[in-house]
Structures are given as structure tokens and as C-alpha cells.
Structure 1
């Protein structure tokens, strides 16, 4: 893909169109009872976002020679889990945020109780999708079980939820770099790793390819969160779609807070190189993954 990003933007546009259509299709209709709950679920899932996790899943599927469209149900499942985590993260008991993606957060629109249930509903709906026998064509029963186990593990206490818990425990306290890396690789990186690994499995990845994708995913997942840390300090609220500087105000564990902006940027660049080097086993079919790795650390929101 070209250096000025136009090919990547065109690629992202095509993938986003597929993902948005699939999300709208796979989400429960807003008119189905309990309609208010389904409306709340759709509000958060269909309310915009970078869709980086589903895009990475489709790109990983294509990198190993698969058809990215076959991964759409699983990509939607991952995005549902991501949306549930944001709903719960924004609640008064957690970060107590009023804005998400430039709009009022779910609990501000539907109330705390409905927001909690909307998150619960999205988490379980994700596994409804993955367990449907009419979806994921060409994926064996054994691989389907592997995919379900992967997503559950990376979303749970050994992944995203565990990272969120440690993040809460250390808020406002001085921490060391290994603890910060644990938080980032679990709270954010785990779901990104799951998305990429699952995309490869759906596409029929061979052991060498899967290993390469896992190494790429580990680097990209951490780089993505470091970039978010940097943007929280440097970007404006209008660009982020949520209050800028909120991590600093809460005493959150971030790379700029621990290492400073320059070292944080350098660490993100190092991880970008690790990610791209991991893809040496692939040819041009992995160009989108290489371009996305660069986009992750260069983005402005």
C-alpha cells in the first residue's frame, strides 16, 4: 500500500462498509421485545468507532489466503464484546464518563440499570453468533470450539476483564513498567490478539502463519494502547470523542505518565517495527496488516 495512506483509507472504507452492514444485520432488531434493551445495545454498537478489531480480523483472514467476508460473524462478535466493555467502563462505578465517540454514554441515555444489561446482552449475543451452525462457512467444529475458547479466554479474567481489574486497583498509585504492560496487554491487547488469531484460523492459517500473526498481534495490541495513552495527552476532546486528559485527571496508569511522551512514542515505534517484522513469512497479501500497524501509532484519534 502507498505511503500517503490513500490505499489504506480505501481499504478501510471497503472493510468498514462490510462490517457496518453485518453488525446491523446480526444485532437484535430494535423492535423486538425487550425493545428498550435492544435499542440500548444497538446505540453503543452502531454508534461509530474505528472498528480496528474487526478490520484486523478480516485482514488476518485475507493474509493467510482466506475470504475476509467469511470472518464477518466472528468480527461482529468481537465488536459486540468491545462495545459491552465500553458501556461498563463508562459507568459511574468505573470511569463515570459522560461522552463516548462524541455522544452521551449509554447510561446517560438509557440509565445505569439498562446500560448494565445492554453490556450483558452484548457479551452473550457474541457467543450466540459464534455458536450458530449456519455461520462461519468452511470452519470445522474443532476450529469453531477453538475460536469460542479463544474469545472467551481473551475477554475474561485472564484477558480484558483481568486487565481492567488491575487498572482499577492501581489507579492513583505509583506503578512499575511490568504492571503497566500487564494492564495494557490484557485490558486492550487481549481482544486485539483474539481478533487477529481468530481471523487467521477462519482463513485456514498454517502453524508458521499463526505464530507470525500472534507475534504481530501482541505488538500491535500494545502499540494501540500506548497510542491511546499519548492521544489522551495530546489530542483535543473533539478529536477523541471523549474528554481529553481524563486518564491524567484520574491518576490512570499510562505510558506518558510513567515514561514521558518522548519515550512513549519511541516504545510505540519499536512495537510497530516488531509487528511488521513478524509478517516476513507473508507476501503482498499481508500489506493491509502492515499498513494498519503504521496507522495504529500515527492516527490522530
Structure 2
């Protein structure tokens, strides 16, 4: 991680194959997003490190440097906390990953060459917080994206913390400690099924008990982590792979039954029917070890 500080600003050196416009294109795809705000190519967001809440603005200069400014006197005084913020941003934008082999592979791939050219420099945008990633996976099950975003907004505004700045509220995702103390009745105002409420509270309780954590999963290989997640009530193969891809950064994560992935392949191949699972497995053979990036780029074709 290469970064330095100038007064109250952190400057992070960006890797090659990074394009902020491609990433902003993804981040602005949904108007109802409640975890950050984007204006004039600048992201405003709270980054929580333990109990510490920092309201930051993130912008990029020439795709070479990422500038992190602290608002509202929320700069942490301890250097290790600022280091954790840099680490969070690296996780969020997958900055430690050299994408050169992915672009080499994609250039020659009949399905990926167009998205890789069009969205060049896009990273798999991460959700570094495991509880947030799992909740988002559960909330998004079997509903359209717009409805999933409205559920997330209700959940965050109902149970998360916020910082007010310039007349606007910025939110922190609810902590698993808080959600672990609730019952499905407490979530009744949110327009999700009782079952989803049960799943989310169950996951929060598992995490609060200490038997389930990001650190624990990171010690496992991909197959072990996938198996472990699928054993948890409310997490099927799709949610497990989604979380393995966006939070735990397993590049082989591949939500093969994903509707968006299936539709994207259908569109790009001009098919008048959905591709079968076997067809997708065959198409994806060249993507080995880059399945998560291939999926993310194919999703991007749809909106």
C-alpha cells in the first residue's frame, strides 16, 4: 500500500488499469444508494473503523492518485486508524490486484472483449464489511435490484448510525451487535419477508457469538469458505458466491445461477433462449481464476 499524508489529506497511489470514470459509472447506477453520495466525481462516505467514524471525500487525479479528505473534523488522531482507512479503501476498490492478466485474457475472449474494452479500468467494487455484504446478499434474493436498494435504505436508516454534514445525513451500516438483539417484529416496518428478517438476525447472532467472522473465513480456501457459508440459514450458493466475490475477494467465486449473468450471456451471444448451466461452464473455461471479474464485467453490460 503506497500512500502518504499532506496536512489533513491522504494520497493513495493508484495501480495501473484503474479508471475512476468506469468505477463511478458502476457506483452511480442506482439513485437510491444510501451508503455514499457522489457529486462532481467525488464520493462522500463514512468509513467506520471500530467505534471511530470518519466522514471522507474521495476523488481521483488523472487516474494516478486517490485523494481522501476528512470532513467535519473526523480525521482519526492515531496513525494506525488512518492506516485502517487506507486499507478499507484498498479493499473497496481492489487496489492491490494487478488486472493485467485479466485484460490480456478478456481481449481474446469472444464474450468479454466488448465489456473489457468498454468498462476498462473497472474494479470489482468490494463490500469490505462482512455483515453488510451478507445482508446485501440476503436482501437481494429473488427481487429486482431497485427493490433491493429500497429495502437496504429502510434497513440502514432504521438501524444504522449517521453523521450530519452540510444539511445531509451520511450513514453507517447497522452493526451485527445491534441487529443480534432484535426480533423479526422489530424489522416489521421494512417491506421484506419475515424469513429474510429471520435470516439477517440469525447471521447477526452468529457473528455476535464470535463463531463466525471475516478473519475465520479468510483462513479457509475457496471451497471450504463456500461450504461454510452455505451451511448458514438463508445463504445459498448464489449468496455465498456473491459474498466470496465482493467481500472476501476470492477471484474464483462464480454465481453461475445469477439471472444477470445469464441475461448478459444471452444478449452478447444473440441467443433467443437462456444459456444452460453446461453452456455457461464451457463458455467460462478461459476465465479460470478470473471468474469473479468476468461476472462483474458481464453484469455491467446490463445497465
Q: TM-score, normalised by structure 2?
A: 0.34
Q: Which has the higher strand share?
A: 2
Q: TM-score, normalised by structure 1?
A: 0.34
